[in-house]
Each structure stands twice: as C-alpha cells, then as structure tokens.
Structure 1
Amino acid sequence: MRTLKGPSIFLAQFIGEDAPFNTLDGLAGWAAGLGFKAIQLPTGNPAIFDLTLAASSQTYCDDIQGILAGHGVCISELSTHLQGQLIAVHPAYDLAFDGFAPPALRGNPAGRYSWAVSELKNAAQASQRLGLTAHATFSGSLAWPYFYPWPPRNAIMLDEAFAELALRWRPILDAFDEAGVDLCYELHPGEDLHDGVTFERFLAGVDNHPRCHILFDPSHLHLQQMDYLAFIDHYHSRIRAFHVKDAEYRLSGRSGVYGGYQSWQDRAGRFRSPGDGQIDFSAIFSKLAQYDFPGWATLEWECCLKDGETGAREGAAFITQHIIPVADRAFDDFAVTADGLQHARRMLGLERE
C-alpha cells in the first residue's frame, strides 16, 4: 500500500481577472497559503500556462516548475477538459460548445476538432516534460442526446457512436503512451463516458489501451444514484486520478436525477463543498489506500451554496485529515512466532515420520 498524495486543487474554478487569480505565480502562492501541496492546472488559458510552448520547450517547463517550487507546490496533473469535449460534439451541442475553441475556429467544426486533437497531443508532450504521470480530460459525446431510450434504443446508432469515439481517441491515447502518461477520463453526465458501463464499452473499443484510465469523481456517480464505493472495487486498476467533490441527493416529489431544468440550488441532486454533502469520503480514502492508488487527492470546488475561497480553505484541511498514512507493517506482527513449510505442517499435524 501507499499513502495518497495531497492535497491538490483544481484551479479551473478560481482563475480570474483580479490578483492573485490572474497569474500562475499568484495562484500558486494563494493555493500554498491555504495548505495545498499541488495544483491541477487547466491548459486553456495561455496567460496562465502556455500549452503549445510547454509541449516544445523544456526550458519553459523548467521555469514553470521553478515558479511553483518557490511557493512549495508542484503540478499534480494538467487538465484538457474543454479541449477533450471538442474531440466529439453532437450537432445538437455545436453552438453550446463552440466557445471552447479559439475565436478563429468558431463556427468551423472540422477546424475545431483538429485543434482539439493537437491540444491533447501537446498535453501528452507537456506532461512528459513536466515529469507527470497522469492527465485529466473529458471524452466528448456523440450519443449523449439519446441517453434515455425514447424513441426506443437504437443499437446500431450506439455501436457507431462508440466506434467513432474510439477511432478519434485511439491516436491520442497512443501519443500519451509514447509520452508515458495515463489519460484519465472524468466520468461525467453529458459525456459519452459517464459511468462504468460506458467506460467499459469505450475501453473495449480501444482494445484495452494501457493508457485509458479514469478520473474518479464520486459526486457524479452519486447524483446518478450509483454505488461509488463498489465502483472503486470494480475499476480500481483503472483509476489514476481523483477529484474530491461532495454532493447530496435529496429525494423529492417534484424532480429527480434529470434536474428539471432548475438552478443548482433547487435540484434534488446538487454539488456541495467537501464535508457538507453525503459522500462517504472516509470509506473512499480507505478503499483507495487499500488498492494502492498512486495519485493525488485533488479538490474540485463546485458548491451551490458556499463561497469558493471558503470551500478551498476548508477543502485543504478536509483532504489532509482524510489521507491515511499507510502502515509499513501489520499490526499483529508482534505475535508472529515462526513460519516455513515444516513448521506449518507440524501445526496441521502433518509432520512426516
């Protein structure tokens, strides 16, 4: 077993126009001041982190690490959630996701897709230069508009959707394999990979690719009414990243898991700051320690009620308190007497004449 690394914090929800949230140096100092040891770094804002330059320049990567080291933090993972979304966009969502691309490529689905592929491959190279072992992203979606079987489930269409998704991601996964980095899909409603079954289907489509892994976020599983602890038992060998994000599902007579098109505050299922929801993090941290999880515990703050900076400050302490320093020996080692085959046979009454 190994002790989880942490706490880390995903910076996507905190980057802004005002100091200290408008520079990497400022963000790093802010995170360190709250007790974080690492940052999960979004790659969609070149003013914070230039992904294209990082993919080609070891000097730039060394400079970035120097800035962070000055505050006593490092990078846990890079993130391409927005770029990953653009790998597969159903036409129904074309305008909704068009803003994730650079202005020059908006209204150009083919150009937007090519750019997204380039971004993911750059992320593989940048991760390698930074000495990282995991990367966080979304899968994108072609089949999501049809997640509920009405009209009735179209098996041929779904087969085609997952075959195309695998086809698009395979060369990207190969690029991550060449870089020695695990590509971790955050299983998330709205993505074709949103639960264990869809992940398995995709994994089979990419021939059980050695770099195809999971970013485990229990909040998204809880709001789908899944057993997120049993999920770890099923998929622990593929979990390589971990978001600490809480959620609650309040049974309602008016709406359910689909949300009723309501604001987050009014939904039956909603995100909360760690410790304010229903997720059993003590059990999660225990299972991840048991299964030798090799990565970071990363706060992703998304709460419909609590202020973000409060959630971040409390989240650092919450993660620190939940990380289990694993034992280097069994608690009953003191009572061990003897071992070996001969001794075992004698204990069983099987001693040879």
Structure 2
Amino acid sequence: MKTIQGPALFLAQFVSDQAPFNNLENIATWASGIGYKGLQIPTWDKRLFDLERAANDLAYCQQIQDLLAGLELQITELSTHVQGQLVAVHPAYDEIFDSFAPTQFHGDPVARQKWAVEQLMLAAKASKNLGLTAHATFSGSLLWPYIYPWPQRPEGLIETGFKALGERWLPILDAFDQAGVDLCYEIHPGEDLHDGISFEMFLNVVDQHPRASILYDPSHFVLQQLDYLSFIDKYHERIRMFHVKDAEFNPTAQQGVYGGFQSWVERAGRFRSLGDGQVDFSAIFSKLAQYNFSGWAVVEWECCLKHPEVGAQQGVEFVKSKMITVTDKAFDDFAGSEPDTEMNSRILGLTQ
C-alpha cells in the first residue's frame, strides 16, 4: 500500500489583488506558513502562473520549482478548469461563459473553443516540463440543459452529444499521453461528466483512453446523493486526483437536489468547510489507502459560511488527522511462522 501525500491547497479560490494573494511568491509564503506542503495551481491567472511560458521555457519552470522548494512546497498539479469548460459549451451558456476567455474571443464561440483547446495543449507541455504526472480540468458540457428528460429528448440526442464531446477531447488526451500526464476530469454537476455513468459513456467515445482519469471530489456526490464510497470501489483505477471538500444535504418539504433556485446559503445541498459537512473523510482516506492512491490530498475551499482563510487554516490539521501512514506488515505477524508443507498436510489430514 502507498501513503497519500499532503496536505495541499488549490489556489483558485484565494487569488486576488490584495497581498498575500496577489502573486505566486506571496501566496506560497502564506500557504507554507500555515502548514501546506503542496499547491495546485490554476493556469488561467497570470498573477500566479504563465501557462504559455511554462510550456516553452524550462528555465521558467525551474524558477517556479526553486521558489516553492525554498518554501518547502511543491506543485501537485496544474489546473485548467476554466479552459476545459470552454472546450464544450452549449449555446444556452455562450454569453455567460464568455467571461472565462480573453475579451477578443467574446461573442465568437468557434474562436473561443479553439483557444481553449490550445490552452489544454499548452497545459500538457507545461505539466511535462514541471515533471508532473496528473492534470486537473473540466469536461465542459453540450448536454447539461437536457439533464432532466422533460421535454422528452429526441432519439439519439445524448449519443450525438457524447460523440461530439469525445471528438473534441481525443486529440487533447493524446497530447497528454505523449507528455506522460493523466488528464483528470472533475466529476461535477454542470459538466457532461457528472457521475459514474456519464464518465463511462465518455470512456466509450474516447476508446477507453488510458489517460482519461478522474478528479475525485466527494462534495459533488453528496449534492447529487450518490454513494461516494462505493464510487471509489468501482472507479479507483481511474482516480488519480483528490479534492478534499466537504458538503451537506438537508432536504426539506420545499426543496431537494435541485435547490429551488436558491442561493448557496439557502440550498438544501451546499458546500462547507472541512469538518462542517457530512462527508465521511475517515472512510474515504481508508479506501484510498486500500487502493494504493499515492497522489495528493488537495484542500479546495468552497464554503457559503466560513471565511476562506479560516477554512484553509483549519484544513491543514483536518487533512493531517485523516491521512493514513500505511503499514508495511500485518498486525498478526507475531503469530506467524515459516511455511511448513508437511505440517500443513498433517493439519488437513492429507497424510497417513
């Protein structure tokens, strides 16, 4: 068995124009100071990271690694959640998602999608240059408006959508394969890859691609009322990344999974800081240890109540309390003995 690494922190929710969150050195110094050992870095914000430069400049990559090493930190993975979202966008969301792309691509879905694919290709190169083995992203969605089957979906609509999604992602997956990096899709509502079945449907249209992997985040399963522990049993071979994020689901007579169009504070299902929700992290860390997960436990703060800095600080000790240093021997080894074929045969009555 292998011991999980951590604690690490996903930086996307912390970046701002205010110190210490305004550049990589400052935010890394802050994260190291409260006990983090790794950082998952978003690639869409140049205040932290220049993706194009990292894809083409080994000296820049070494500079970043040296900076973090001096703070006893390392990069766990890069993230292209924002760019991955734009690989596939249903027209209903065009205007809303324009804000995810540079202004020159606003109002031009074709150019925006091309830019997003180029970003993913750069991310494969950058990950390789940094010596990383996994990358975080979203699948995007062509089918989310049709998640509920009313009005009745036209025959073949879902199959057509997944076929198109696979065609968009297959060249990207091949690029990550050439770079030696697993591409981990966060299984997430709003994405076409939002549960186990939809992930399997995607695997079918990308020929079971060996780099098509999973970013496991149990909070999204709580909000969908999925069995997040059995999910690990079924898909552990594809789980290559782990977001440690809590959530709660408290249905009422007025609302359930769909949330009644309420704000995050008022929804039956909502994200919480670690330890404030309902996720059984002790069981999750045990299962990941059982299945030899050796990646990072990456804290992602998304809480509708608690301040982010407090959530991040508390997350360090929370993750440490759940991490399992795996054993290298069985607990009953003291009672064991060397194999004795003759004795075993006598015990079983196989000798006369």
TM-score normalised to the size of structure 2?
0.98
> Partner of 1:139 in structure 2?
139
Within-5 A mapping of 1:241-256 = 241-256=241-256
> Partner of 2:182 in structure 1?
182
CA distance in 2, matches of 1:96, 1:258: 20
> Partner of 1:48 in structure 2?
48
Output the amino acid matched with 2:193: L
Superimposed CA distance per residue, residues 191-239 of structure 1 (whole angstroms, 9 cap, x where no aligned partner): 0000000000001111110000000000001110111001111101100
Does 2:42 match 1:37?
no
> Partner of 2:127 in structure 1?
127
CA distance in 1, matches of 2:209, 2:311: 36
Structure 1 residue 342: deviation in Å? 4.3
Structure 1 residue 315: deviation in Å? 0.4
> Partner of 1:206 in structure 2?
206
> Partner of 2:79 in structure 1?
79
Identify unmatched segments of 5+ residues in structure 1.
none
* Pair 1:340–1:202, CA change in 2 (3 A): farther
Does 2:300 match 1:300?
yes
Output the amino acid matched with 1:350: L
Structure 1 residue 341: deviation in Å? 4.4
Structure 1 residue 107: deviation in Å? 1.1
Q: What is the SS of the residue equivalent to 2:156?
A: helix
Superimposed CA distance per residue, residues 58-81 of structure 1 (whole angstroms, 9 cap, x where no aligned partner): 110000101111111000010000
CA distance in 2, matches of 1:235, 1:39: 25
Output the amino acid matched with 1:109: P
* Pair 1:205–1:339, CA change in 2 (3 A): same
Does 2:305 match 1:311?
no
> Partner of 2:58 in structure 1?
58
Q: What is the SS of the residue equivalent to 2:77?
A: strand
* Pair 1:349–1:218, CA change in 2 (3 A): same
Q: What is the SS of the residue equivalent to 1:19?
A: coil
CA distance in 2, matches of 1:245, 1:342: 54
Q: What is the SS of the residue equivalent to 1:223?
A: helix
> Partner of 1:346 in structure 2?
346
CA distance in 2, matches of 1:215, 1:111: 28
CA RMSD of aligned residues (A): 1.0
Superimposed CA distance per residue, residues 281-328 of structure 1 (whole angstroms, 9 cap, x where no aligned partner): 000000000000121000000001000000000001100111000001
Superimposed CA distance per residue, residues 215-268 of structure 1 (whole angstroms, 9 cap, x where no aligned partner): 000000111011100111110110000000000001211111111111111000
Q: What is the SS of the residue equivalent to 2:270?
A: strand
> Partner of 2:191 in structure 1?
191
> Partner of 2:216 in structure 1?
216
CA distance in 2, matches of 1:342, 1:153: 68
> Partner of 1:279 in structure 2?
279
Length, aligned pairs only? 352
CA distance in 1, matches of 2:96, 2:64: 33
CA distance in 1, matches of 2:38, 2:337: 44
Output the amino acid matched with 1:50: D
CA distance in 1, matches of 2:59, 2:346: 65
Output the amino acid matched with 1:60: Y
CA distance in 2, matches of 1:97, 1:158: 22
Structure 1 residue 154: deviation in Å? 3.1
Structure 1 residue 105: deviation in Å? 1.1
> Partner of 1:334 in structure 2?
334
CA distance in 2, matches of 1:201, 1:77: 26
Output the amino acid matched with 1:96: I
* Pair 1:179–1:341, CA change in 2 (3 A): farther
CA distance in 1, matches of 2:157, 2:236: 30
Structure 1 residue 48: deviation in Å? 1.3
Output the amino acid matched with 1:272: R
CA distance in 1, matches of 2:336, 2:204: 45
Given that 2:251 and 2:257 are in contact with CA atoms closer than 8 Å, whether structure 1 keeps it comes out as: no
Superimposed CA distance per residue, residues 70-123 of structure 1 (whole angstroms, 9 cap, x where no aligned partner): 111000010000000000000000011011111111111111111111110111
Structure 1 residue 346: deviation in Å? 3.2
* Pair 1:343–1:118, CA change in 2 (3 A): farther
Q: What is the SS of the residue equivalent to 1:315?
A: helix
Q: What is the SS of the residue equivalent to 2:224?
A: coil
Instruction: Determine what percentage of the aligned residue pairs are the same residue.
Output: 61
> Partner of 1:164 in structure 2?
164
Structure 1 residue 343: deviation in Å? 4.2
Given that 2:98 and 2:106 are in contact with CA atoms closer than 8 Å, whether structure 1 keeps it comes out as: yes
Large movers: runs of 4+ above 3 Å: 340-344
CA distance in 2, matches of 1:346, 1:192: 60
Structure 1 residue 331: deviation in Å? 0.8
